[in-house]
Structure 1
Amino acid sequence: MNAATALNGEILPPLSGNVLQRLQRLRRLAWFLDAALRIPGTQFRMGADALIGLLPVGGTLIMTVLSLLFVWEGWRLKAPGSLLARMLTNIALEAVFDLVPVLGNLVDIAFKANLRNVALLEQYFGIVRR
């Protein structure tokens, strides 16, 4: 399979520099939200999502809205509906668990929906991460 073919066999348009820049910007934002800080004494990472998620209900709402930016950008990049649905599922799972005190923060640290969603977009556009 070459870089111009999606996993489902669909032929993709050549990636412009603009698409790559947008995906890189999403990757940086996802890293900030999901993995910017190392938890001392462990190999686990967490980001602003876990910290803001400590705020009851409001934290979940804020982080869910921020996570929806990834879906919106995927839509603007013309990602297929099935991919956008998978991204929405990741966000919904994280948001539901985030409503449960403490457990929600542990799920934020382990699940990392934003990084997963960026990886889905990169995979669709044939970008290989090392």
Structure 2
Amino acid sequence: METGKARRMGLDLPLGNDPASIRLRVEAMERLLERSFMLPGTNRPVGLDAIIGLVPIAGDAIAAMLGLYIVWEARNLGMSKFQLARMIGNVGIDTALGAIPLAGDLFDFMFRSNSRNLKLIRRHMDKHHPHTQVIDG
């Protein structure tokens, strides 16, 4: 393991507090929570958020804590309180409606709060930290 990096899921994730490091960690967490596996037969990606949400109560609580990690990283970037409240609202809606048996599991599959929060973070970073932009191929 190199100094200043953590090896997770085959990725070298930086440990720094600079915007570029935070961006890489948030993108990796969103990928893990929302689109880390392909659902057989549907060609639709699904992540740990939907999978662990199948476990009653505890699964939704764990998924909420993992989603709040993204919000915590957004706070470290200096995002506004309004943006942070919006992100917490996304996680709250996902958690509250995801806790409903059966219907909540379908909702978890469709409502991707972490992807929505990543979009807010990217918009903030593209405006305030443009040097962190990555061109997707």
Shorter-chain TM-score bucket reads: 0.7 to 0.9
**Which has the larger share of strand?**
2
Equivalence map 1:1-130=2 (5 Å): 18-126=18-126, 127=133, 130=136
Once residues 46 and 129 of structure 1 are traced to their aligned partners in structure 2, the CA distance between those partners, rounded to angstroms, is 24
The CA deviation string for residues 56-113 of structure 1, in whole angstroms up to 9 with x for no partner, is 1011111111111111111111001111011011101101111111222212221111
Once residues 18 and 128 of structure 1 are traced to their aligned partners in structure 2, the CA distance between those partners, rounded to angstroms, is 15
* Structure 1 unmatched ranges of 5 or more: 1-16
Q: Percent identity?
A: 31
* Structure 2 unmatched ranges of 5 or more: 1-16, 127-132
Residues matched between the structures, number: 114
User: In the alignment, residue 70 of structure 2 is paired with which amino acid?
Assistant: F
How does the TM-score come out when normalised to structure 2? 0.77
Using CA pairs below 8 Å that are at least 6 residues apart, which structure has the higher relative contact order? 1
How does the TM-score come out when normalised to structure 1? 0.80
Once residues 108 and 27 of structure 1 are traced to their aligned partners in structure 2, the CA distance between those partners, rounded to angstroms, is 19
Once residues 36 and 19 of structure 1 are traced to their aligned partners in structure 2, the CA distance between those partners, rounded to angstroms, is 24
Tell me, yes or no, if the aligned pair for 2:60 and 2:98 is still in contact at 8 Å: yes
Q: CA RMSD, aligned part only?
A: 1.7
